[in-house]
Structure 1
Amino acid sequence: MDVPVWLWIVFAVTVVVSLAVDLLAHRKAHVIGFKEAGLWSALWVGLALVFGGVVFLTLGTTAGTEYTTAWLLEKSLSVDNLFVFALIFAYFKVPREYQHRVLFFGVIGALVFRAIFLTAGVAVVNRFTFVLFLFALVLFYSSYKILSGQEENFDPGKSFAVRMLRKIMPVQDEYAGTHFVVHKEGRRIGTPLLAVVAAIEAADLIFAVDSVPAVLAVSDDLFIVYTSNAFAILGLRALFFLLAGLLDRFHYLSHGLAIILAFIGVKLILQACHKMISTSIPEIPSPVSLAVIVVILAVSVTLSIRRPPRPPGELGGAAGTGGTDAGTANTDK
């Protein structure tokens, strides 16, 4: 795809200005409330859609549809990140007023790492088409782990990044405001806030294993895949604070994400077969992919709202029935 240089410049300026405005707006540590998170979420979504409109007008309908599909896909997959963020914050007992600052620097790291991974991924896919089959297997396996409940537990304290940080410098147990590093007795000592950033970056690297192959199924153009990723990542902090305390209610969303991953895996296989075996093998068009993702997300959210999760310890069946057997069954679970 022939992307004009000025469009890359517009994208870069938009991201830098957005991050600067966000940092200035939150330069004083404070708890992000629901209303503030809602306003910022609307701003990030609106910014992503406006940029999508620019892509439509500049690069055409196909590019615009691919951008929208990739952005929505990355936005939906990023929900898994929110659960991990909550786990990390709980593990390190991060004060609520410091959480936005941590996520801000986590986002910057994610933007850098995704640029590296996506650039490498696009180069590999364009040269070695058979890699699409390997990417499809990764997505199928991830889908299987989610549906079967066999996802690996993420232990923030034992992540590679946190362990490496502790080897590089000592990390104290007490927070020092919003400082990541303090100086004591002529030594630089990390604060728990620095360890939290390291844990978040490690988590993003894990999620990139699913995210990068998934978005490359939508487009193999670096501009489309990276800009869609960037705008999805930029809105991640506001989405976290918007949904804080509500994540457990969307209990069917993980199932929906698993189905989306499997669908994208099928899309990758068809793309590979179309390129390597026969052009008569149809590919799944981007508008169809977009529609499927929207429908799956809508159904997942609707089911979560209509069928809320049962409180822990609540017994199945009618009240007053089941006796000892019911109690035993509940305990075994």
Structure 2
Amino acid sequence: MSVSGGVWLLTVTGIVGLLLFDYFFHVRRTHIPSLGEAARWTAAYIGVAVAFGFGVLILGGSTAGAEYFAGYVTEKALSVDNLFVFLLLLASFRVPRADQQKVLLVGITFSLVVRTGFIFLGAALINSFAWVFYLFGLILLITAGNLLREQRDEDRAPDNIMIRLARRVLATSETYDGDKLVTVVDGRRMLTPMLLVMVAIGGTDILFALDSIPAIFGLTQNTYLVFTATAFSLLGLRQLYFLIDGLLDRLVYLSYGLAAILALIGVKLILHALHENNVPFINSGDHVEAAEISTGVSLSLIIGILLVTVVFSLLSPKGRAQTYARAARRHATEYLDVETDPAYCDEIYHRLIEDEARIDGLPAKHRNRIRRERELLNLMQRAHELHADRERAGRCFVPATAGVSRHPQ
């Protein structure tokens, strides 16, 4: 499918326009999106992406349409997994709920810019060196293996070289000043932790791109389709975060499903590399007769794997136990360390009560295992004690700061 420069310009203009719309009409006013607001805008962005896909299907043919939808579904699934890490980062930096929208949107914008650069670099490498398919396939197989070995630890915040570098280079104040990037402390202008968390999310997403870009090139080598599928998977990710925030804890087996998808695409890339082979030490530089996995089969398997993963996550007793324990830990931490909004602070506490009731309703085996987690029990007990102190003081919250402990006053 060939795409003219005019179509490229129109597409990029539309995507930039959607980003600007988000900046000027959604995050300009600091607020916590309601579930209805998040659902409406998530549906709108997914609707735009699906409508664009049907346009590709009609104008570009069935093959191009299948490649776009396969790329979009895969990138969207990887983006949802990335939300787990964003959730931990926001909790680690103690970003108030009302200010999280702007952080996420800046991170998504940075991600789109960086991934666009990676896309054109990947396309240039593929056009120049056929052996790049072997490299991309190997990257995906290694990533799939890492996902299978990884145990997501909700107690530890993500930590990588980008975050450590940002902490060292960017000297920031101890407190947030709304969603401002610069504040005044003792007459001196200083950066706020808001800038630090934006850099951390943007830098972390660079590492995500090293997996997601090879994955989508395994489904289509058309640069236009790679770019649009990636862009539309990122647009609306902010709204999706607030919509499925609670559901994120339920998707305990998503990593296994993504590992299977990345392994599938990795095998597909290596089979394609064998078919196009010109590496001298493999079959003397001649192509190898190898069956290739069609895009239609890839799309069907990707959707099937995701459905099985989600259903199993929702129905598994072990998954429910992990879900409730994770939710209780997150809500207790938010109540103790993060929130300043009285209404949302009270809402978090009631969510914690619901989490505890769900834990009490689990089968004895899973309930007893959670009760042996002393750190979690201490965290919940501290939340109850702080709530009692706040009730006695006639208030719901204490002033929040970044990176320091909070105590009831």
Contact 1:156/1:162 (<8 A) preserved: no
Could you tell me which amino acid in structure 1 is paired with residue 308 of structure 2? V
Give 1:1-333 correspondences, 5 Å limit. 1-26=1-26, 27-149=28-150, 158-183=159-184, 188-276=189-277, 277-278=286-287, 280-308=289-317, 309-311=319-321, 319=364
> How many angstroms does 1:283 deviate by?
1.6
Could you tell me which amino acid in structure 2 is paired with residue 3 of structure 1? V
- Distance in 2 (alpha carbons) for counterparts of 1:116 and 1:151: 29
- Distance in 1 (alpha carbons) for counterparts of 2:321 and 2:87: 19
Contact 1:260/1:296 (<8 A) preserved: yes
- Distance in 2 (alpha carbons) for counterparts of 1:212 and 1:54: 23
- Distance in 2 (alpha carbons) for counterparts of 1:18 and 1:10: 12
- Is the deviation greater in 105-114 or in 146-155? 146-155
1:169–1:305 CA distance, 2 compared to 1 (3 A): closer
Three-state SS of the structure 2 residue aligned to 1:175 is coil
> How many angstroms does 1:187 deviate by?
5.5
Could you state the TM-score of these two structures normalised by the residue count of structure 1? 0.89
- Distance in 2 (alpha carbons) for counterparts of 1:188 and 1:121: 42
Contact 1:115/1:226 (<8 A) preserved: yes
Structure number with greater CO (CA < 8 Å, separation at least 6) is: 1
Contact 1:34/1:242 (<8 A) preserved: yes
- Distance in 2 (alpha carbons) for counterparts of 1:55 and 1:208: 24
- Distance in 2 (alpha carbons) for counterparts of 1:172 and 1:228: 39
Could you tell me which amino acid in structure 2 is paired with residue 129 of structure 1? A
Could you tell me which amino acid in structure 2 is paired with residue 311 of structure 1? A
1:88–1:12 CA distance, 2 compared to 1 (3 A): same
- Distance in 2 (alpha carbons) for counterparts of 1:139 and 1:197: 27
Contact 1:156/1:199 (<8 A) preserved: no
Three-state SS of the structure 2 residue aligned to 1:298 is helix
Three-state SS of the structure 1 residue aligned to 2:276 is helix
Contact 1:31/1:97 (<8 A) preserved: yes
Three-state SS of the structure 2 residue aligned to 1:55 is helix
Three-state SS of the structure 2 residue aligned to 1:311 is helix
RMSD: 2.7
Q: Any idea what the Cα deviations from partners look like across 1:29-76, whole Å, max 9, x if unmatched? A: 000122111111101100111111222222222111111110111001
1:148–1:207 CA distance, 2 compared to 1 (3 A): same
Task: For structure 1, list consecutive stretches of 5 or more residues without a partner in the other structure.
Answer: 321-325
1:188–1:212 CA distance, 2 compared to 1 (3 A): farther
Aligned length: 324
Q: State which structure, 1 or 2, has the greater radius of gyration over its C-alpha atoms.
A: 2
Three-state SS of the structure 2 residue aligned to 1:219 is coil
Contact 1:122/1:222 (<8 A) preserved: yes
> How many angstroms does 1:5 deviate by?
2.0
1:177–1:65 CA distance, 2 compared to 1 (3 A): same
- Distance in 1 (alpha carbons) for counterparts of 2:288 and 2:50: 33
Contact 1:169/1:189 (<8 A) preserved: no
> How many angstroms does 1:155 deviate by?
6.6
Q: Any idea what the Cα deviations from partners look like across 1:151-206, whole Å, max 9, x if unmatched? A: 79997685433444445442111111111123557865211111111110121111
Could you tell me which amino acid in structure 2 is paired with residue 275 of structure 1? E
Contact 1:147/1:255 (<8 A) preserved: yes
Three-state SS of the structure 2 residue aligned to 1:299 is helix
1:63–1:310 CA distance, 2 compared to 1 (3 A): closer
Could you tell me which amino acid in structure 1 is paired with residue 110 of structure 2? G
- Distance in 1 (alpha carbons) for counterparts of 2:11 and 2:157: 33
Contact 1:169/1:188 (<8 A) preserved: no
- Distance in 1 (alpha carbons) for counterparts of 2:213 and 2:154: 21
> How many angstroms does 1:213 deviate by?
0.9
Could you tell me which amino acid in structure 1 is paired with residue 161 of structure 2? F
Three-state SS of the structure 2 residue aligned to 1:189 is strand
- Distance in 1 (alpha carbons) for counterparts of 2:130 and 2:291: 16
- Distance in 1 (alpha carbons) for counterparts of 2:155 and 2:55: 39
Contact 1:71/1:229 (<8 A) preserved: yes
> How many angstroms does 1:18 deviate by?
0.9
1:142–1:37 CA distance, 2 compared to 1 (3 A): same
- Distance in 1 (alpha carbons) for counterparts of 2:66 and 2:157: 37
Partner of 2:386: none
Could you tell me which amino acid in structure 2 is paired with residue 204 of structure 1? D
Partner of 1:323: none
